[in-house]
Chain A
Amino acid sequence: DAGVIQSPRHEVTEMGQEVTLRCKPISGHNSLFWYRQTMMRGLELLIYFNNNVPIDDSGMPEDRFSAKMPNASFSTLKIQPSEPRDSAVYFCASKLAGGPYEQYFGPGTRLTVT
């Protein structure tokens, strides 16, 4: 299996621009997670999907952030408008639903907002 795929790997954008991060989970996994990692706050869970439905978005920092999962093999995290404080590494992870299965992480997208 190719593992969790994320694109782009690096994104540099100017403040105020829209940013879209993409994720393809492992085939057969029906739980998907978006995390943000920064030096100051560590690894934070932003949102969690189960069977394409958002279950818990309590970690989404504000309305500028939105996430979708239109089908089992694709998810997006959008930031609009972006701000410098959004600069971080964003990870997508997937797992089999229903049990204590481990999460498999993608390589991450490093976002820099200038």
Chain B
Amino acid sequence: AQSVTQPDIHITVSEGASLELRCNYSYGATPYLFWYVQSPGQGLQLLLKYFSGDTLVQGIKGFEAEFKRSQSSFNLRKPSVHWSDAAEYFCAVGPGGDSSYKLIFGSGTRLLVRP
């Protein structure tokens, strides 16, 4: 069965420090992969996506993620965190092909930023 695991429920980093949020997926073929961010009281906003090609993808707000097939991972990174990055982050996986509608979401990682 398809699944997405975000092993860290909470992460706290200092402002200016680097960040890595982990995401592991279970899927039989090459999936489509997404990272979304949710600020309090808001909907989910797409940060970046991976469909194929270069395994290092750049997103908005200075985020990047690397697809590692051998590790079934799609970790999100940012070299220097800003206080405004405090939010909840969701990794999602979708099946390839025409029926790529159904996204499976991870349980989320809440990022806290220390001043």
Closest CB in chain A relative to B90 CB, distance in Å: 7
Judging by beta carbons under 8 Å apart, are B46 and A48 in contact?
no
Q: CB within 8 A of A107: which of B34, B36, B42, B106?
A: B42
Residues of A within 8 A of B32 (CB): 100
> Number of contact residues on B: which range applies?
20 to 34
A42-B105, A100-B94 are known contacts. Are A91 and B34 too (CB-CB below 8 A)? no
Judging by beta carbons under 8 Å apart, are B43 and A106 in contact?
yes
Specify the main secondary structure of chain A where it touches its partner.
strand
Residues of B within 8 A of A34 (CB): none
Q: A75 in the interface, Cβ–Cβ < 8 Å?
A: no
Instruction: Provide the bound-state CA to CA distance between A107 and B96, in Å.
Output: 27
Q: B44 in the interface, Cβ–Cβ < 8 Å?
A: yes
Q: B12 in the interface, Cβ–Cβ < 8 Å?
A: no
Closest CB in chain A relative to B35 CB, distance in Å: 10
Residues of B within 8 A of A107 (CB): 41-43
Q: A1 in the interface, Cβ–Cβ < 8 Å?
A: no
Instruction: Provide the bound-state CA to CA distance between A42 and B49, in Å.
Output: 21
Interface positions of B from 12 to 57, Cβ below 8 Å from A: 32, 34, 36, 41-46, 49, 51
A98-B98, A100-B32, A102-B34 are known contacts. Are A43 and B105 too (CB-CB below 8 A)? yes
Judging by beta carbons under 8 Å apart, are A102 and B46 in contact?
yes
Q: A99 in the interface, Cβ–Cβ < 8 Å?
A: yes
A100-B94, A100-B96 are known contacts. Are A105 and B105 too (CB-CB below 8 A)? no
Closest 10 CB pairs of A and B: A105-B43, A105-B44, A43-B105, A100-B32, A100-B100, A107-B43, A102-B46, A42-B107, A100-B51, A106-B43
New contact pairs (12) apart from A4-B43, A91-B44, CB-CB < 8 Å = A45-B103, A55-B101, A56-B102, A99-B98, A99-B100, A100-B51, A100-B94, A100-B100, A102-B34, A102-B46, A103-B103, A105-B44
